[in-house]
Chains A and B, each alone.
Chain A
Amino acid sequence: MNLHELQVVAAEANAKANAQKRCVRVCMAASCQSSGAGGVLKGLKSLASSDADHDVCVKGVGCMGLCSAGPLVRVSSADDTPDRLYQHVQEKDAKELFASVDDGPVERLACSTDLPFFTRQKRIVLENSGEIDPEQIDDYIAAGGYEPLVRAVTEMAPYDVLRNVTESGLRGRGGGGYPAGLKWTTVARSPEPDKYVICNADEGDPGAFMDRAVLESDPHRVLEGMALAAYAVGAQYGYIYIRAEYPLAVERLEKAIKQATKRGLLGHHICDTPFSFEVEIRLGAGAFVCGEETALIASIEGQRGQPNPRPPYPADEGLWGCPTLINNVETLANIPAIMREGGEWFRSIGTESSAGTKVFALAGRITHTGLIEVPMGITLREIIEEIGGGIPEGRKFKAVQTGGPSGGCLPEEHLDMPVDYDTLRSAGSIMGSGGMIVMDETSSMVEVARYFMEFCMTESCGKCVPCRAGTAQMYELLDKIATSTGTPADLQLLEQLCEVVQACSLCGLGQTAPNPVLSTLRYFRHEYGEKLRPDPLLQPVAAERNGK
């Protein structure tokens, strides 16, 4: 397929869409599906097919964001009235909604699209999410998809792609925030003939579902990002390492790979150029540590999913000893937009040190839970109070947890802090992959720390001593403190263990496992103090005797 053919496909798909201006979009991402979106779509589709002269387009689309109000349905009418969004739609509402295309809105189910939740977002990675049918490659092409790839391989040198990404200032969205351009350049500069591109879709943080949503809503975007990366660094093979717990995402990816290969946008001689790129899916078996890049590589190689010391970094010696580029789903999903609009454009969004946008999964004690994409530099307060709609039931905000088990809890006084990699780190948390859990006054911070430590303990691979034995000991100590049987000596020991585990562990899992404890100790130390009991060994024996 060349650029002209691609544009013809896009034009045809767009013409079809314009002919069918009246359209009903049903969110078919995992969250809405689990609350019955499948039935709604089926009902609407049968109505559409039985009503031929209506000529209404009914399609399943990706995540619309406001997961707490799902299943969501969006109705576009023929006239120029703005689209209507409906929430909590059930199968029985299908008829009424279908009629609303012509008959006017159904107020009973209406969901306002003027909410800050929608208006305050800036969508790059999620630009097609909720718009296109993720199972139709033509929908993606019609939205301008694959044009950056076709243009790159036919009109640009790999170096130009690389320069664009470097200029964009894009940083790894998986958590570390390593400059993507630098990582790409390292792999591109390597003289080795065989190189690999890996998409890390082993999303495992509790409460985080950004990658799942991207893969379910716009899988072609990730594939295109991978192909562009492969072209830039000179790789011929790619792997998507995705957890088996995301069956819908896996299914859609498989479909997408087939469709793209059929169209000649993946596989041998893409666009009749010498550039070939094949993508294979590898399923993770449920180990959190396999999100760590060296463990992920070991797992793809068929070995036990355990990390290895770095250096050598995968960019030097990765999969099967070859230079390997590993990027997270969201990082790669940014690439098509960067190539389309240019690195300068991307850099103009966000802050000086952290360019672009970030997708967050809002969860916990917050009115609007769901998926949002906001420019970097927005404050936590804006995210929580405006976009998230604040804390429900009139309760008071207590802390927000970012970065999952590697991150930390930030209190009220840090809410006006801009969200970017460096500021979050200086406050004792991390950007992480984008999980954001909001807690109100009823949450006990000791229990939050215990929860995350238990997570790290059970997810530790067991290779290095500090993480294997240290997280288990820290969990026991936290459990003692949480159940009010801990002593000041226990707390002191806990802090000492935090230091050793952080400094000595082999991989990121262990190195960051103490973060939830350290950050809650930094901001909520009094909660630990309240739960401590005096050390029995330090009590004067006389007091006990006098009591008798």
Chain B
Amino acid sequence: MARHPATPAAAPKVRVVTLKIDGHDIGAREDETILNAANDNGIRIPTLCYLEGLSEWGACRMCVVEVAGSPKLMTACSTRVAEGMEVTTNSDRLQRYRRTILELLFAERNHICSVCVSNGHCELQSLARACGMDHVRVPYRNAAYAVDSSHDLFRIDQNRCILCTRCVRVCDEIEGAHTWDVMGRGVDSQVITDLNQPWGQSTSCTGCSKCVQVCPTGALVKKGTAAGEMEKQGGFLPYLTEMRGNR
């Protein structure tokens, strides 16, 4: 894996530590996260707001893991490994929590897969399948959110948004435009373009489509796609960050 570029000569020495993840002995650099170390060793921890190449956010709580000796659950995406750490990534309890979190997401806004352009290519959908979430016990909130089609090429459907803020981060950190941001709080939070102007009127948007490609659901899509047709191409991101020296 080409995730870690060679350390520049002037950088301080980074030690390698050993830890146990799900009973497997693993070696990892001390500045790595539990998630990275697990991924490199073929242990899959579900993630949603995390995206390789973007800053850590720690908001979806899908990657919560148990660390021996800590009373609280830790998010694998934001917790660094440590010598002698013992991590459990897939206990019954964690699986139950992850399913409940997915249920909360599915009930929060409109996630009716059959009519969604991302059907079959949706990270939320595949995560639900992988985690065994086969029904939603909490009541659907059924709140109606706006759809903004004012941009020439793209559309945002707030009803499909899970507020992972990948669009906000990629626009700020990679494209450098910072068109996206979040407004409101709690269940009323929404991603917005510029100061909540229609996307089509945004003066900062470069139309690069990075936000669309990293969006895990059918919230940000290319126009002219019908149900199931929107396939995202997120592969550019690790390449781009790699070429830029993992900025």
Contacts and interface: CB of A to CB of B under 8 A. Distances in A.
Interface stretch (B1-9, B74-82, B197-205): B74-82
A470 B187 CA distance: 9
B188 A473 contact: no
Contacts of B58: 308-309, 464, 506
A398 interface: no
Contacts of B184: 462
A460 interface: yes
Given A309-B58, A466-B61, A497-B138, A458 B101 contact: no
B73 A468 contact: no
Interface in A489-519: 493, 496-497, 500, 503-506, 511
Given A497-B138, A500-B100, A504-B61, A468 B79 contact: no
A462 B186 contact: yes
Contacts of A464: 58-61
Contacts of A505: 61
Nearest to B57: A463
Nearest to A500: B100
B135 interface: no
Interface range on chain A: under 10, 10 to 19, 20 to 34, or 35 or more?
A: 20 to 34
B244 interface: no
A499 to B, nearest CB: 8
Contacts of A473: 104, 107, 138-139, 141
Contact of A468 (B72, B80, B189): B189
Given A466-B61, A468-B189, A469-B187, A309 B78 contact: yes
B187 A311 contact: no
B97 interface: yes
A462 B182 contact: yes
B84 to A, nearest CB: 16
Contacts of A466: 61, 101, 104
B185 interface: yes
Contacts of B108: 465, 468-469, 472
B38 interface: no
A181 B16 CA distance: 32
A471 B186 contact: yes
A497 B103 CA distance: 11
Interface in B164-200: 181-182, 184-189
Interface range on chain B: under 10, 10 to 19, 20 to 34, or 35 or more?
A: 20 to 34
Given A311-B79, A468-B163, A476-B139, A461 B186 contact: yes
A460 B137 CA distance: 22
B186 A459 contact: yes
Interface string B119-154: 000000000000000000111010000000000000
Contact of A469 (B78, B105, B182): B105
A304 interface: yes
A417 interface: no
Contacts of B105: 465, 469
A511 B139 CA distance: 22
Given A311-B79, A476-B139, A500-B100, A465 B60 contact: yes
Contacts of B75: 309, 506
Interface string A472-486: 110010000000000
A289 B189 CA distance: 14
A506 B165 CA distance: 15
A496 B187 contact: no
A199 interface: no
B59 A465 contact: yes
A400 interface: no
Interface in B52-109: 56, 58-61, 64, 72-73, 75, 78-80, 96-97, 100-101, 104-105, 107-108
Contacts of B100: 496-497, 500
B187 A500 contact: no
A506 B186 contact: no
Contacts of A459: 185-186
A309 B58 CA distance: 6
B143 to A, nearest CB: 10
B16 to A, nearest CB: 20
B61 A462 contact: no
A461 B59 CA distance: 11
B93 to A, nearest CB: 8
Given A309-B58, A311-B79, A457 B186 contact: yes
Contacts of A457: 186-187
A287 interface: yes
Given A464-B59, A505-B61, A500 B80 contact: no
A465 B139 contact: no
Given A309-B56, A309-B75, A500-B97, A469 B188 contact: no
A476 B79 CA distance: 33
Interface of A: 287, 289, 304, 308-309, 311, 457-466, 468-473, 476, 493, 496-497, 500, 503-506, 511
Given A504-B101, A506-B59, 9 more contacts: A461-B189, A465-B60, A466-B61, A470-B104, A472-B108, A473-B141, A500-B96, A503-B73, A504-B97
16 contacts: A289-B185, A309-B56, A309-B79, A459-B185, A462-B182, A462-B184, A463-B59, A464-B58, A464-B61, A468-B163, A468-B187, A470-B104, A493-B138, A503-B73, A504-B73, A511-B72
